[in-house]
Every structure is written in structure tokens, then in C-alpha cells.
């Protein structure tokens, strides 16, 4: 009897499927409420290698939805704290923690090394950056989001359309767990669905979860979803860049009203002033905000009246 006996007895897994999982390498971005169950279930299932990227630290106010961590780990980098817990859960799985944030400068290299990517970061910038990198490398992306009492998980890229095809238009404003709240089991349920989708992709199960979105409404006790296999890709997508990719002649615009400009060269301009902005010819415009939402929407507004190059930047202060 092995630790995987109840898994390998499934005709969809078997010894051959378990061997596929042991050879697999996945990238998990984010070790919070979504990342916790994803990491636990993938580690428990015997996925061979997990690269974990997270730049945050364990905080007490997050523990109600992040039961992966203990009180004595508060203040530790999440990536390292998670790796310690997972090593005790299953020493057969190699977990490589990378303390830092995913950005467009490091995403392509990380994505190119793995079989499946799981987006557990729950920010617009990280999700779109991962979607772009996965689309370019042909790597499946399992992305998810959870807030308050609802959430969704979607299988994108690889042979399926990208996340940009599913959500070509982003909301004007985005709530956060700090402002809208969130129930721990809701995040756990969505994270568990992410893990199941990833295992299905690695095992080659049919029907594939790629090109499917599943939604959870824990207030109305409903689950739903739809297929997006035929969703068209946007014609002029706005891409994010990393700080290291800023050019000397870029026009830097910080859209955050609540913080000082992220660079001495950045101009502080609110999003509502975008229709009146006339950038100089020949300079790329870089729009910056915290999550990428304001930058993306401001970029779309500018794009309708200015044909020049526009890039987006998510600022982690």
C-alpha cells in the first residue's frame, strides 16, 4: 500500500498516470488563500516539481483563509514558509521557493520550464502577465479569483484561448479582500478546483478543462460555467512590463492618487485626465498603478485616441 493507492486505483490515473505526475513540473504564482489548497493538493498528489513564486510575508489577518501557515510563521516569506510545510507533507515532491514578485521580466523564463502554470496571485497584472507568457509558450494556465462569497477558475492557453479572450474588458474598479472581505472556505473551494484542473491537464483527462470556466456562488449555493473555446483574442492587447524594462526616454505616468510617484521621473496624473493627455511623439507611455487595473483601463482610453506605444506597470511598494 503506497500513499497514492487511493489515487492510482482510479482508471483515469493508474500507475502510468502517477508516473506522469511524478515527472511533471508546475509553476504556482501566489501562496495565499488560493495557493494554499493548490500547493497542498498538488503536493499530496505527488506532482514531482513545484516552483513557487511569492513576494509577500505571512500575516495574521490572512490566516483565516490561509490555514497552510502557523502563528509562529508570521513575518516569514510565504514562499519559504509554504515550502517548509510542504516538505513535511510529502518529501517526495521538490518545492523550489522564489521570494519575489512575478513580473513580465521573469515570467517568460519561468513559464518556459514547466508543464502547467497556476495563477493564484489574484491581481490583474499577474494574471494578464502569466496569460501572455503562457500563450506565447503554449503552456496551459489555470487561473482563478475569489472574493467575498464567490469565485471562478478557468483553464486558459495551451490549445485554448488566453485569459484576455475571456475578459477583453476589465471592470472600472476592483474590490479587494481588504475592502470587500472573503470567506476562507470559498477561497479553499476555488483553490481545490484549480488543483483538480491542473491534475486533469497533467493526466490528459477528457474532457479537458482547458477552454472552460467554472463559477462558484456560495451565497446562492450555485455553481455555473461556460466554454470559451471559440473566444477571439483581442487585436491590440496592452502588455505589462517590469521595472527593469523601463526605457530612459519613457514617459512615466503614476495613476495612484494615494501614493507618491514610484519614480522621480514619473508624473502624477489621475485616470480621469487620460482623455486630455497628448503624449510627445516617439516616446512610449508607461502607465503605472498597484494592481494593473487602473493602468489597463487608462491605457485602453488612451489607445482610442493615440496610436503610439503604451506599456503597463504594476507597482509593488
Active site amino acids:
177
Residue 134 phi, psi dihedral angles, 5° rounding: -70, -40
Q: Write down the residue that cell numbers 487561473 correspond to.
A: 143
Euclidean distance between CA atoms 120 and 190, whole angstroms: 10
- Decide: 311 and 284 in contact? Cβ < 8 Å: yes
Grid coordinates representing 59 are 500575516
Residue whose C-alpha is closest to residue 64's, from 182, 222, 212: 182
Residue whose C-alpha is closest to residue 224's, from 242, 210, 212: 212
Estimate to the nearest angstrom the gap between the alpha carbon of 24 and the chain centroid: 19
DSSP element (H, E) containing 249: none
CA terminus-to-terminus distance, the chain: 50
Euclidean distance between CA atoms 17 and 13, whole angstroms: 4
Give the ranges where the chain is alpha helix by DSSP (H). Answer: 5-8, 14-23, 35-45, 78-89, 107-111, 124-137, 163-166, 177-180, 184-203, 293-303
Estimate to the nearest angstrom the gap between the alpha carbon of 313 and the chain centroid: 16
Residue 118 phi, psi dihedral angles, 5° rounding: -115, 120
Amino acid at each position: 500500500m503506497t500513499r497514492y493507492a487511493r489515487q492510482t486505483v482510479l482508471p483515469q490515473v493508474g500507475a502510468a498516470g502517477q508516473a506522469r505526475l511524478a515527472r511533471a513540473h508546475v509553476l504556482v504564482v501566489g501562496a495565499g488563500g488560493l495557493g494554499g489548497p493548490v500547493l497542498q493538493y498538488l503536493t499530496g498528489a505527488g506532482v514531482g516539481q513545484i516552483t513557487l513564486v511569492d513576494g509577500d510575508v505571512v500575516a495574521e489577518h490572512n490566516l483565516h483563509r490561509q490555514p497552510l501557515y502557523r502563528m509562529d510563521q508570521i513575518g516569514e516569506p510565504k514562499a519559504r514558509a509554504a515550502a517548509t510545510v510542504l516538505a513535511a507533507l510529502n518529501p517526495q515532491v521538490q518545492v523550489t521557493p522564489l521570494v519575489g514578485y512575478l513580473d513580465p521580466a521573469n515570467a517568460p523564463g519561468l513559464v518556459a520550464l514547466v508543464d502547467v502554470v497556476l495563477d493564484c496571485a489574484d491581481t490583474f497584472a499577474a494574471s494578464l502577465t502569466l496569460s501572455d507568457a503562457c500563450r506565447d509558450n503554449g503552456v496551459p494556465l489555470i487561473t482563478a479569483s475569489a472574493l467575498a462569497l464567490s469565485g471562478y477558475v478557468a483553464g486558459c492557453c495551451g490549445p485554448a484561448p488566453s485569459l484576455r479572450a475571456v475578459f477583453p474588458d476589465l471592470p472600472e474598479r476592483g474590490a479587494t479582500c481588504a475592502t470587500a472581505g472573503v470567506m476562507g472556505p470559498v477561497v479553499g473551494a476555488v483553490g481545490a478546483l484549480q488543483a483538480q484542473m491542473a491534475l486533469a491537464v497533467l493526466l490528459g483527462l477528457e474532457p479537458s478543462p482547458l477552454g472552460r470556466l467554472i463559477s462558484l456562488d456560495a451565497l446562492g449555493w450555485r455553481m455555473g460555467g461556460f466554454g470559451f473555446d471559440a473566444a477571439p483574442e483581442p487585436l491590440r492587447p496592452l502588455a505589462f512590463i517590469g521595472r527593469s524594462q523601463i526605457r530612459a526616454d519613457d514617459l512615466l505616468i503614476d495613476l495612484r492618487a494615494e501614493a507618491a510617484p514610484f519614480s522621480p521621473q514619473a508624473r502624477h496624473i489621475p485616470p480621469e485626465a487620460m482623455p486630455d493627455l497628448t503624449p510627445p511623439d516617439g516616446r512610449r507611455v508607461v502607465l503605472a498603478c498597484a494592481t494593473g487595473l487602473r493602468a489597463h483601463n487608462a491605457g485602453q482610453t488612451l489607445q482610442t485616441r493615440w496610436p503610439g506605444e503604451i506599456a503597463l506597470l504594476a507597482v509593488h511598494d
